[in-house]
Chains A and B, each alone.
Chain A
Amino acid sequence: MPRIIKYVFYDILRTRFILLYTMFLLLSTIAMFQLDTDSSKVILSLMNVVLMVVPLVSVVFTTIHFYNSYEFIELMLAQPVNRPVIFLGEYFAVALSLCFAFTAGVGIPMLMYGSGIHGFTLLYSGLMLTLVFVSLAFLSSVLTRDKAKAIGVALLFWFYFSLIYDGLLMWIIYSFSDYPLEKITLALVSLNPVDLARILMLLQLDISALMGYTGAFYKDFFGSSLGVIFSTSVLAIWIVLPVAIALQIFKRKDL
């Protein structure tokens, strides 16, 4: 597997996309810090990057990469190499490169300018969302042989988690506004990885407002070690489940 990862990694580096992505993140983060002296405003702008741009880039890049690696996969399949090794090798190589790009692009400026605990949560959320959307992209890639269709499915995942889900949630909240919904909404919010990452950030940036509605419930829950375990496990499920399903499909896929 390390050998496969190594070759996929080389291949990714050769396309220069990862380099561009890293530079984009690095330059925009530095620009944000330069233009704004208020580090919490920078965190806010970065939060939009983490919640919107990172999933979008991850999901699209991964899908395109998967289709571009068809030749490689075919070549490997004629060799004495196990299918899961090829597949997971691809997964880890893509996930690692995107995570590396994000950490370098956002993490380095944060270290340079200093952003404390907010920055840490942001990095954590960004990395988790990268992994989640790489997984979802792998799933959409094995679902169809058609590259355009797979990118479509991948974008739909992104669109669903970024917008449609929240729209539905809003509708539920609006329809049942007369009932105490704290725990139900907590559960519903957790079902969407983007929302979960967003709530983790809200707990730091908007805790004052959140306390007005939920009292100490959310803060106590997510602040406790149980909450940390809970949110990490939910995100981990979002990472592992799609890629596990994708692997099962890939194992039986005709190439």
Chain B
Amino acid sequence: MKNTLLHITLIFSLSWAYAQPSRLVVQPNGKIATIKQAIALADAGDTILVKPGTYREGNILVDKSLVLVGENKPIIDAEFKHEVITVRARHVSISGFKIINSSVASMHDPAGIGAEEADFLTIKKNEFNGTFFGIHISNSHHVTVADNTLKALLRSDHETGNGIHLWQCSNAVIKNNFIHGHRDGIYFEFVTNSVIDGNVSEGNLRYGLHFMFSNDDDYTNNIFKDNGAGVAVMYTKNVKMINNRFEKNWGPSAYGLLLKDIRDSFVENNLFDQNTIGIYMEGTSRTSFKSNIFSKNGWAIKLQASCDDNIFSENNFQSNTFDMVTNGTMVLNTISHNYWDKYQGYDLNRDGTGDIPFRPVNLYAMIVERIPTAVLLWRSFLVFLLDRAERIMPAVTPENLKDNFPRMKPYDIYI
């Protein structure tokens, strides 16, 4: 009996010693009162548990492979004077903190968490508030940024940094974050083989997602809403843009999605709703636009003449002011089997496809392209007559921009 008890005690204490060999606890009035102290004491691979409280320690530098865990969201406050946490080591994990009040400087981009050459970095379940950049990661691979909330103070464009900013990274996973009030919600430059999934980026001053020179990435299931200029994807190939929602990006140069010099990509199953321009594209080629919903946009698609070999098929166009507009007369793209709510043709053989082609570019859209003020006369009797005349004798709209197989009923698309 005694023997057994001893045994249990022994096992218990041994397991304690092995499982938590160096777990440091930081507590405002405890033995270790600051995070900096804990980092100094810790060895690589250790865990630092931070108890609730407010920690004002200036800039915290993490230069070892450590796991920082906050209990009940302890607050780390840089009092607008420093970057809050700087990571300069591999295999660092930071989770469960409330990280607030970084300094504001346009020269060296201070962030809530700034990381450089920090492969295998994990940033999870933190709350960022009043930071200039939220998370700024460069030259790091295999990083994970998930379940964070980032809110910037609403300031003018040049006083606000990006929410999640990645530069020269690969194999990153950006998942389920909420980003609000930054310059760009998510910023990718030279980031490859990465995934952006399930994020909500809204109310940012410029782009919800700003994406450049970042090949072979997927972004899926995100919501980009109410951003100053929508989403921009540029100078990239092999991007999969699937299941995203682009909503309410309103303004003179606001796009649901701006595509510039994109090749071999996929834009599928997305919702473009209530944007001034659903998709604006130039220099885009060999890209598939399939099964998207375009609804209530000012212009569903602005297709510049520099685009070729793209395929638009099986999309639903509903309640857009103008479905399509282009600046050229040559059309080198394929448009077919889409549903257009403005289609007024018939289907005599009842195969679900209209018997006469649909021309998505209407005359007045072309006029408005040249004289924006003219939009005020839209839906007037005059415009109605002009449009009818143009439909009977097309003179201005490109002759071969048409859908030869317009669908009679909308597709069932679930996003």
B29 within 8 A of A: no
Interface contact A211-B377, CB-CB below 8 Å: no
Per the bound structure, the CA–CA distance linking A47 and B274 in Å amounts to 20
CB distance from A176 to the nearest CB of B (A): 8
Q: Which of A182, A202, A212 contacts B379 (CB 8 A)?
A: A202
With CB as the reference atom, state the residue of chain B lying closest to A52: B381
Most buried by A among B299, B320, B371: B371
With CB as the reference atom, state the residue of chain A lying closest to B372: A213
Measured between beta carbons, the chain A residues less than 8 angstroms from B21 are none
Interface contact A212-B251, CB-CB below 8 Å: yes
Q: B150-192, CB under 8 A of A: which get 1 and which 0?
A: 0000000000000000000000000000000000000000000
Interface contact B381-A211, CB-CB below 8 Å: no
Interface contact B275-A201, CB-CB below 8 Å: no
CB distance from A190 to the nearest CB of B (A): 11
Q: Which of A124-132, A163-171, A243-251 contacts B (4 or more CB under 8 A)?
A: A163-171
A181-B373, A208-B275 known; A215+B252 contact, CB < 8 A: yes
Q: A179-206, CB under 8 A of B: which get 1 and which 0?
A: 0011001000100001100110110011
Measured between beta carbons, the chain B residues less than 8 angstroms from A202 are 376, 378-379
A209-B298, A213-B373 known; A38+B341 contact, CB < 8 A: yes
B254 within 8 A of A: yes
Q: Which of A40, A195, A209 contacts B299 (CB 8 A)?
A: A209
A73 within 8 A of B: no
- What's the interface size class on A, roughly? 35 or more
Most buried by B among A47, A170, A205: A170
Per the bound structure, the CA–CA distance linking A181 and B371 in Å amounts to 11
Most buried by A among B251, B319, B341, B380: B380
Interface contact A206-B254, CB-CB below 8 Å: no
A49 within 8 A of B: no
Interface contact A211-B250, CB-CB below 8 Å: yes
Measured between beta carbons, the chain A residues less than 8 angstroms from B374 are 170, 173-174
A41 within 8 A of B: yes
Per the bound structure, the CA–CA distance linking A212 and B341 in Å amounts to 22
B321 within 8 A of A: yes
Interface contact A41-B379, CB-CB below 8 Å: no
A212-B299, A212-B372 known; A51+B381 contact, CB < 8 A: yes
B318 within 8 A of A: yes
Q: B50-75, CB under 8 A of A: which get 1 and which 0?
A: 00000000000000000000000000
Measured between beta carbons, the chain A residues less than 8 angstroms from B211 are none
B413 within 8 A of A: no
Q: Which of A41, A198, A208 contacts B341 (CB 8 A)?
A: A41
Known: A40-B318, A198-B380, A212-B372. 4 other contacts (CB 8 A): A38-B341, A170-B377, A205-B379, A212-B251
In the A-B complex, the 5 residue pairs with the smallest Cβ-Cβ separation, listed nearest first, are: A209-B298, A209-B321, A208-B298, A212-B276, A211-B250
Interface residues of B, Cβ cutoff 8 Å to A: 250-252, 254, 274-277, 296-299, 318-322, 341, 368, 370-385
Interface residues of A, Cβ cutoff 8 Å to B: 38, 40-41, 47-48, 51-52, 162-163, 166-167, 169-170, 173-174, 177, 181-182, 185, 189, 194-195, 198-199, 201-202, 205-213, 215-216
A-B contact pairs, 20 of them (CB 8 A): A51-B381, A163-B382, A166-B381, A173-B371, A185-B376, A199-B376, A206-B298, A206-B321, A206-B378, A207-B250, A208-B274, A208-B320, A208-B321, A209-B368, A212-B372, A212-B375, A213-B252, A213-B368, A213-B372, A215-B252
